Amino acid sequence: MRNFLLIVVLLCLVNFPTVHSARLEPFERGQQGRALRLPLKDPRIVVMKGKRRMELHADGSIVRIYQIGLGLNPVPDKVRQGDRATPEGDFYVFTKNNKSAFYLSLGISYPNVEDAERGLRDGLISRAQHDAIIRAIKRKATPPQNTQLGGDIYIHGNGAKRDWTWGCVALENGDMRELFDAVGVGTPVTIKP
């Protein structure tokens, strides 16, 4: 019986890496520490607020996962200026700032069309502000950042160990450097609950 158990354990150990690695994405099989091959093909950023996780996708696959910190009000979707919530929805990188007060930063195109529609409906913004947001989004430009909806939402450095921002997504500086070098203006960003 003892020999049988030993054989079973050895078979499990021998087969575990093969079985286990078949279910894992490449980054989970040890590629997380390897340098990214730049330029990335079709990069995309996906943030999952509830998991405090950011994925960097390229060519349809996840190539990196980063731990993140969020706004001081991390659960709800951003509604208005000063609520310290991190927005949810589909955005794009509208600027890259290598002189950020928070190491490096990528500007996120908040508010988006849905935010503008909600803001107009709820009386937070005027028709002119709504229309300016829509025009900017259609041109993939910087939407107005100074309305009652809020603005200045960035992915930036200075730490991901806790939720501390005013609505931004924070990374550790080493991760921010890698992401900053890997993506360009126009990169799609999806922020999920």
pLDDT on residue 32: 62
| Radius of gyration (C-alpha) of the chain in whole angstroms | 20
Do both 93 and 130 map to the same domain?
yes
Q: Which residues of the chain have pLDDT under 50?
A: 1-30
Cα-based distances in Å from 86 to 111, 147, 180: 11, 16, 20
Same-domain pairing of 142 and 69: yes
What's the confidence (pLDDT) of residue 97?
A: 98
For the entire predicted model, the pTM comes to: 0.83
- Nearest by Cα to 150 from 73, 45, 56: 73
pLDDT for position 146: 95
Tell me: do 42 and 113 sit in the same domain. yes
CATH code, domain carrying 95: 2.40.440.10
Asked whether residue 6 falls in the same domain as residue 64, the answer is: no
Model pLDDT, residue 191: 98
pLDDT, residue 7, reads: 39
Q: How many domains does the chain have?
A: 2
Examine the domain organization and report whether 95 and 11 are in the same domain: no
Q: Are residues 142 and 112 in the same domain?
A: yes
Q: Does residue 48 share a domain with residue 9? A: no
Question: Do 186 and 99 lie in a common domain?
Answer: yes
Residue 34's pLDDT is what?
85
Angle between helices 113-121 and 127-138 (to 10 degrees): 170
Q: Are residues 20 and 65 in the same domain?
A: no
* Same domain (yes/no): 63, 116: yes
Question: Which are the contacts of 65, defined by CB distance < 8 A and separation ≥ 6?
Answer: 27, 28, 32, 53, 54, 55, 56
Rounded Cα distance between 170 and 164, Å, is: 8
Query: Which pLDDT score, from 0 to 100, does residue 16 have?
Result: 30
Q: What is the pLDDT of residues 12-68, one digit of tens each?
A: 333 333 222 222 343 443 456 689 999 999 999 999 999 999 999 999 999 999 999
- Which long-range CB contacts under 8 A does 31-39 form with residues at least 24 apart? 31/63, 32/64, 32/65, 36/63, 36/64, 36/178, 36/181, 36/182, 38/181, 38/182
**Same domain, yes or no, for 5 and 98?**
no
In terms of residue numbers, what domain contains 113? Answer: 38-192
User: What letter would DSSP give residue 28?
Assistant: G
Whether residue 14 is found in the same domain as residue 82: no
